[in-house]
Structure 1
Amino acid sequence: MLVDHFPLLGLRLTTPRLELRLPSPEELAALADVAAAGIHAPDTMPFLVPWTDRPPAEVARGVVQHHWQTLGQWTPDDWELDLTVFHAGEVIGQQTLSARHLAVLREVRTGSWLGARHQGRGLGTEMRAAVLHLAFTGLGADEAVSSAFADSHASRAVSRKLGYQDDGVERRVIRNSLTVDHRMRLTRKEWERHSRVPVTIEGLAPCLSMFGVPV
């Protein structure tokens, strides 16, 4: 079976309302459709790479290509896990966990997006809590970092709710304009203090060497 050669296909995170895992081809198509239907208002850009500034068909194709690219380029020292998020069996968005030299640095980074009609229901907090549990409990991370632009109020609110602290700013050029990127950092201690969402991890053991974690 393919999962025997690529065990990440068997990794699954569950929370009270959500399931996070790698998608089947049909589910990847559904994820592309969600992105093409819209993630944010046209007058805003929450991403460092403005990948949604394209026609819907190109946005959808980009989701598919990026998914394949990250899996194809995976190494234990440099990886990006793009998990599809399901709510009541429906694809609603994507939650990313990534790291470089995790075994040495013990640091992960998170990123995510939700389809516009699924926002405002606390699902963004729950899906990030799921991958933080994977990082701290399953992979032995010491810190997690994230960032959001000044006008990305929902993302910054999620970070604060989960215990992140301010970690400086960077000046960026987005759509040919100055944008201030606010970095945030979550330590293991603060994660333990703020962790409230129950998370179940399945299929992790066969994946540990792929994450660069000593078995």
Structure 2
Amino acid sequence: MTELARCWPPFGLTLTTPRLILRPIRDEEIPAAVEAALSGVHEPGRSPFSNPWAEAPAGELGPNMAQWYWRCRGTMSPGQWTLLLGIWHEGQFVGCQDIEGKDFATLKTVGTGSWLRQSVQGRGLGKEMRAAVALYAFDWLGAEIAESEAAAWNKQSLGVSRSLGYELNGVSRVNWGGKLQEVQRVRLTPATFNRPDWRLRVEGHDATANYLGIQLPSATPSRGS
């Protein structure tokens, strides 16, 4: 364990897939995250996010992202937590995959959200990183349900969900950035999960789970090493 991880255990967490490395974003990596976002995340004027954060002016985007990362770290507790995992592909920062829990000890439910820079979209990386956190949630955290949502028009995101075995879980009319939006909720369980044909490698889990107040589940054949 590094000295940084001794101070804040989630910094020791790393998830590795065949093509990606996922781990919490450190302060020195925030500029790379900002650069990735500034390079373009979605079609201009068509935000797929409940908060159109990627449309902020260039001079505001960096401070906004830094404040968000610091806020998530500073407010993390066993009762409510969000892990913001940076995504590295071929040594390049390409996006972020978050996984969050509220009253996890009771509900055993996680939510997820993500973004990828446009230059790497269409390669299946979005599916791979979502599969990674689903594997981590079910096999390592002991989650029983994983939830997500997307704008009803966002066929790409919903296609990833469908391919992994998520089931439709209702439609809501909500206010996204001052605009009416129909949002499709989706829900995944271990029974419906279309597991990938690769094994997730996890490092730094025990200290992270202990910090989040999560009782470590017994090892199962599906868990990686």
In the alignment, the residues of structure 2 paired with residue 114 and residue 135 of structure 1 have an alpha-carbon distance, to the nearest angstrom, of 21
Report 1:170-209 matches (<5 A): 170-191=172-193, 193-209=194-210
- 1:23 Cα shift? 2.7
In the alignment, the residues of structure 1 paired with residue 27 and residue 43 of structure 2 have an alpha-carbon distance, to the nearest angstrom, of 28
> Match of 2:186, as an amino acid?
M
Report 1:115-194 matches (<5 A): 115-191=117-193, 193-194=194-195
Q: Secondary structure at the match of 1:83?
A: strand
Structure 1 residue 77 corresponds to structure 2 residue 106: no
In the alignment, the residues of structure 1 paired with residue 23 and residue 186 of structure 2 have an alpha-carbon distance, to the nearest angstrom, of 25
The answer to whether the Cα contact below 8 Å between 2:11 and 2:26 also exists between their aligned partners in 1 is: no
Q: In the TM superposition, what whole-angstrom CA distance separates every residue of 1:102-133 from its partner, at most 9, and x where no partner exists?
A: 11100000000001111111000011111111
Q: Secondary structure at the match of 1:33?
A: helix
In the alignment, the residues of structure 2 paired with residue 145 and residue 13 of structure 1 have an alpha-carbon distance, to the nearest angstrom, of 20
With normalisation by structure 1, the TM-score equals 0.95
2:27 is aligned to 25
Q: In the TM superposition, what whole-angstrom CA distance separates every residue of 1:26-73 from its partner, at most 9, and x where no partner exists?
A: 322101111122110113110111212311221222111111110011
How many residues end up aligned between the 2 structures?
214
> Match of 2:155, as an amino acid?
H
The answer to whether the Cα contact below 8 Å between 1:164 and 1:186 also exists between their aligned partners in 2 is: yes
2:66 is aligned to 64
Q: Secondary structure at the match of 1:188?
A: coil
- Across the aligned residues of Structure 1 and Structure 2, the Cα RMSD in angstroms comes to 1.3
> Match of 2:125, as an amino acid?
L
For residue 92 of structure 1, the aligned residue among 79, 91, 94 is 94
Mean CA deviation greater in 193-202 or 47-56? 193-202
In the alignment, the residues of structure 1 paired with residue 133 and residue 205 of structure 2 have an alpha-carbon distance, to the nearest angstrom, of 12
- Indicate the percent of aligned positions where both proteins have the same amino acid: 39
CA distance change for structure 1 residues 142 and 64 in 2, over 3 Å: closer, same or farther? same
| Structure 2 unmatched runs, 5+ | 217-225
With normalisation by structure 2, the TM-score equals 0.91
> Match of 1:101, as an amino acid?
D
Mean CA deviation greater in 174-183 or 44-53? 174-183
- 1:190 Cα shift? 1.1
| Structure 1 unmatched runs, 5+ | none
Q: In the TM superposition, what whole-angstrom CA distance separates every residue of 1:125-164 from its partner, at most 9, and x where no partner exists?
A: 0111111111001100001000000121111111011110
